[in-house]
Chain A
Amino acid sequence: MSTSAAPVPEGPSGVGEGAPSALARVLGVLRAIPVVWYLTIILWVWIAAINPLFAEPSGFLAYLKQAAPLAILAAGAFFVLASGEFDLSVGSLVTVCVVIAAAVSDGDPSKTVPVIALLFVIGLIVGLINGVVTTIFRVPSFITTLAMLLILDGAVWLYTSGSPKGALADNFREIGRMGIDVPVIEQLPYSVIILVAIGAFSVWLMRGHFGRQVLAVGDNDRAAALSGINVTRVRITAFVLSALSAVIAGILLGGFAGVTAQVGQGLEFEAITAAVLGGTVLGGGRGSVVNAMAGALALTALFSWLNLQGVSGALEDAVEGVIIIAAVAVASYRLREGS
């Protein structure tokens, strides 16, 4: 519509921008910061006000350590969501990883490296199957990954008959629990290092060809295909990334939470909640991976805050429910109003 050209400033190519006042620029920058960051920071400050330990390096790092698995899952979920699909199998995959690691290594530290390699292979296979069935066999990803969830859960039950066998080796558990000793902050947890590394890797991916292709495919896969982008490959890759993020989260959670058949329960929904809270739009095409991870930080901070308020753990679910609905409602309102 020619009318929508109205707000476009006239100029030879309009690429240049004027010089707004300093205040306007600051306000502009502030407005450009996604809401999820404000939420996160408010929660941090609030928690620190109640519990000063949180503001100290060790307390804050403990929080980050706790948030790391979800944040990593959120990054994985982001790729799949941004490409316009769903992955409901990650929670079960986390459980599979923990259970298999415990059963295969059975506490033997020398097996840790091969076990981790095995887990990555499993993740790769699961991701490939999800992706291939969704793209090539055209089964909606909702159903594909749901069936994968059933299959993986079934596998866990078969393997454990309800109570997982074996134990995780100490060096395996250290990944999730321990860290490098650093003078000022006492200890820098491995999980935080991994979190930052994955965050950096994801940002790098999103800035590169792959990331732009993911968003293009999620936004309009027909246009992407007609522009020569291999839509199938992009989507399969997104599913593989999601599955690999589940493997990493599983390794961290294994050390952190121990071996149970419930370790991954509900994580698929928490990861989607986190990504959505971070502004990822379901249906694809919009969002940023950093914000999705920030969504996980906010969610974890919120749960900590609720604990401090004396809210029972069970109500956390209810709060998560309200948040996810509110976040999507606000996002769809803003998209509609174009602000």
Chain B
Amino acid sequence: MSPGEESREAAGGAATATRSPLLQMRGIKKDFLGVHVLHGIDLECAAGEVHAIVGENGAGKSTLMKILAGAYTPSAGEIIIDGKPQKFSHPLEAQQAGVSIIYQEFNLLPDRTVAENVFLGREPKRGFIVDRAKMERETEKLLREFAPDDPIPPDELVGRLSVAQQQTVEIAKALSLDSKILVMDEPTASLAAHEVERLFTRVKRLRERGMAILYISHRLKEIFELAQRITVLKDGQKVKTVNADEVSSAELVKLMVGRDLDQYFPPRGDPSKRGDVKLRVRGGATDVLANIDLDIHAGEILGVAGLQGSGRTELARAIFGADPFLEGTVEIDGKPVKINSPQQAIAHGIGFVSEDRKSEGLTLAQSVRDNVALAWRGLARRRRNQLTINVKDLCQAVELRSRGLGQEVRFLSGGNQQKVVIAKWLATEPQLVIFDEPTRGIDVGAKAGIHDLIRGLANDGVAVLMISSELPEVIGMSDRIIVMRNGQIAGELPAGPTEAEIMFLATGEEDIEAETEADLAKIQEELSSAGEGGKS
């Protein structure tokens, strides 16, 4: 995007801001289970404006949008659309008032067809009968317009589509509503580059047509490209609303984080202290992985980078025996072993901090005590007897903040929940710990604590395999990095590579547009200088 275009857009934004806003949200408050999630947020969005909402995870963005979409009822505050106060007790009412939303988590039914999903809740009728032909025709039209070179058949089941195609369907579903206000909650998370471009063209066209668009993203570049105004949320409060052309990305990050964060990653380990090979994989393969050759040394952090779907998580699950290797050999301390279940992996001293804490890491209704002891209880009796654990000490080791050992973990914050998961593995005295997205959904302050814990493990001689889709994290933490692509290891990099080097291996493309790359580098620079903001 050229600078001229940018300023023209910004000017347009300033003009729209003075018009009477199409959407006003005033003093929105929300409590969950007695916890205040939103403390009175004011927000407005004019017709023909893209208004970005940014903030760390847990800042309340998604909650605010769900209130606007009628999925939650606010504890206090009012929503005014077109000058009329609205009270939504059901998402349908919000739809009828002209609000549509693209949710961050896919809001699709895998067992229904694309057309049925797109028109769910407002199936076209002819008399009593659902007009399936019309439904499929219109769906096809919508999809063709949006993704002409990747035709999605409207009678295909959504569960059979790729992730990117599903996102396309999700977007088509929201756009088909033809509403006045469109909320987009991380719409580009799994879109390919050209699809993102097409989405942006479309968003701009909708904006020109006078739609009010609320745009949530962690990608600052997108925000600067699209938005006229930016509202920053933090801890359920509005920090500020700024004009997009009056703020730099570094300033924005500072607003989001609320402080400068320097010295973010703990210092790397001393290479001379690197121990022997703890785990060695040769020729590992599964349905989705091939030719995995891997050494992980005691006392090092081996970072794993790669795009989504490149096989990072599958690699972790294969090593951990959850979806075991079908071919190849695995050695621990030089001895060949067979790991076909998590139990065997744990018996060999492996721990796995999985990507999805809530569904794979914790038993949310159980106490801190029970969760910390969970993996220990899975050990064979003899091993368990050798290893008496003290839950309180373990909690102190990970600096857990809880109301007590009896507190249910569902009431803990994301960072503290992750500490419980780590304490759970410490209880088994692991020699290798796999971290899959260790800081996902954890706010910036708590991230540093998790990073310190991971480095601490390595310093104690534990081998660490750390998967992350946040390049600064991989670069900042790892002693060595492997990059995955299409289920294989595309290459290995020493400590401290540049992001371009990683992306080159991850995509296999040399010709990333120069402009894009420059842009990217600039923002990354600003980001890293501001610490580590802008993401969740």
For A228, give the chain B residue with the smallest CB separation: B378
For B317, give the chain A residue with the smallest CB separation: A226
The total of chain A residues at the interface (CB under 8 A) is 36
For B397, give the chain A residue with the smallest CB separation: A13
For A230, give the chain B residue with the smallest CB separation: B343
- A224–chain B nearest beta-carbon distance, Å: 7
Question: In A1-53, which residues have CB < 8 Å from any B CB?
Answer: 1-15, 17
Q: How far is the CA of A163 from the CA of B32 in the complex (A)?
A: 58
| A2 and B56 form a contact (CB under 8 A) | yes
Q: Select which of A6, A11, A226 is within 8 A of B342 by beta carbon.
A: A226
| A228 and B404 form a contact (CB under 8 A) | no
Interface check B324, CB cutoff 8 A: no
Interface check B267, CB cutoff 8 A: no
Q: How far is the CA of A162 from the CA of B416 in the complex (A)?
A: 61
| B424 and A8 form a contact (CB under 8 A) | no
| A285 and B365 form a contact (CB under 8 A) | yes
- B400–chain A nearest beta-carbon distance, Å: 6
| A15 and B402 form a contact (CB under 8 A) | yes
Q: How far is the CA of A216 from the CA of B373 in the complex (A)?
A: 11
Interface check B415, CB cutoff 8 A: yes
Interface check A337, CB cutoff 8 A: yes
| A10 and B401 form a contact (CB under 8 A) | yes
Known: A15-B402, A223-B361, A223-B362. Is A4-B342 also a contact (CB below 8 A)? no
Known: A2-B413, A13-B399. Is A224-B363 also a contact (CB below 8 A)? yes
Known: A3-B36, A228-B343. Is A215-B363 also a contact (CB below 8 A)? yes
Question: In B3-17, which residues have CB < 8 Å from any A CB?
Answer: none
| B352 and A219 form a contact (CB under 8 A) | no
* Pair count A-B, CB < 8 A: 146
Q: Select which of A2, A10, A230 is within 8 A of B58 by beta carbon.
A: A2
Q: Which residues of A contact B60 (CB under 8 A)?
A: 3
Q: How far is the CA of A304 from the CA of B446 in the complex (A)?
A: 57
Q: Select which of A220, A228, A230 is within 8 A of B364 by beta carbon.
A: A220
Q: How far is the CA of A285 from the CA of B367 in the complex (A)?
A: 11
Known: A10-B401, A226-B354. Is A5-B416 also a contact (CB below 8 A)? yes
Interface check B69, CB cutoff 8 A: no
Q: Give the residue among B366, B379, B392, B396 with the most A Cβ atoms within 10 A.
A: B366
Q: Which residues of A contact B261 (CB under 8 A)?
A: none
| B363 and A285 form a contact (CB under 8 A) | yes
Q: How far is the CA of A307 from the CA of B378 in the complex (A)?
A: 49
| A216 and B363 form a contact (CB under 8 A) | yes
The A interface, classified by DSSP as helix, strand, loop or mixed, is: loop
- A117–chain B nearest beta-carbon distance, Å: 28
- B380–chain A nearest beta-carbon distance, Å: 9
For B37, give the chain A residue with the smallest CB separation: A3
| B415 and A216 form a contact (CB under 8 A) | no
- B436–chain A nearest beta-carbon distance, Å: 11
Q: Which residues of B contact A223 (CB under 8 A)?
A: 359-363, 374
| B36 and A209 form a contact (CB under 8 A) | no
Q: Give the residue among A4, A14, A225 with the most B Cβ atoms within 10 A.
A: A4
Q: How far is the CA of A74 from the CA of B296 in the complex (A)?
A: 51
| A3 and B401 form a contact (CB under 8 A) | no
Q: Select which of A3, A8, A226, A228 is within 8 A of B236 by beta carbon.
A: A3
| A1 and B400 form a contact (CB under 8 A) | no
Q: Which residues of A contact B404 (CB under 8 A)?
A: 14-15, 17
Question: In B360-395, which residues have CB < 8 Å from any A CB?
Answer: 360-366, 370, 373-375, 377-379, 384, 392, 395
Interface string of B44-56 (1 = CB under 8 A from A): 0000000000001
| B400 and A14 form a contact (CB under 8 A) | yes
| B402 and A1 form a contact (CB under 8 A) | no
| A6 and B403 form a contact (CB under 8 A) | no
| A4 and B411 form a contact (CB under 8 A) | yes
Question: In A297-339, which residues have CB < 8 Å from any B CB?
Answer: 337-338
Q: Which residues of A contact B363 (CB under 8 A)?
A: 215-216, 219-220, 223-224, 285
Q: Select which of B32, B58, B362, B395 is within 8 A of A220 by beta carbon.
A: B362
| B401 and A215 form a contact (CB under 8 A) | no
Interface check B346, CB cutoff 8 A: yes
Starting from the known contacts A8-B411, A219-B366, 14 additional A-B residue pairs (CB-CB under 8 Å) come to A1-B37, A4-B32, A6-B35, A11-B401, A17-B404, A212-B374, A219-B364, A220-B359, A224-B378, A225-B322, A226-B352, A227-B374, A228-B343, A285-B365
Q: Which 6 A-B pairs have the closest CB atoms?
A: A228-B378, A338-B33, A5-B413, A2-B58, A219-B363, A228-B346
Name 22 interchain pairs, CB-CB below 8 A, sorted by A.
Answer: A1-B37, A1-B413, A3-B35, A3-B235, A4-B411, A6-B35, A7-B34, A8-B402, A13-B399, A13-B401, A14-B403, A17-B404, A213-B378, A216-B374, A219-B364, A219-B365, A220-B362, A220-B363, A225-B322, A227-B378, A228-B342, A286-B365
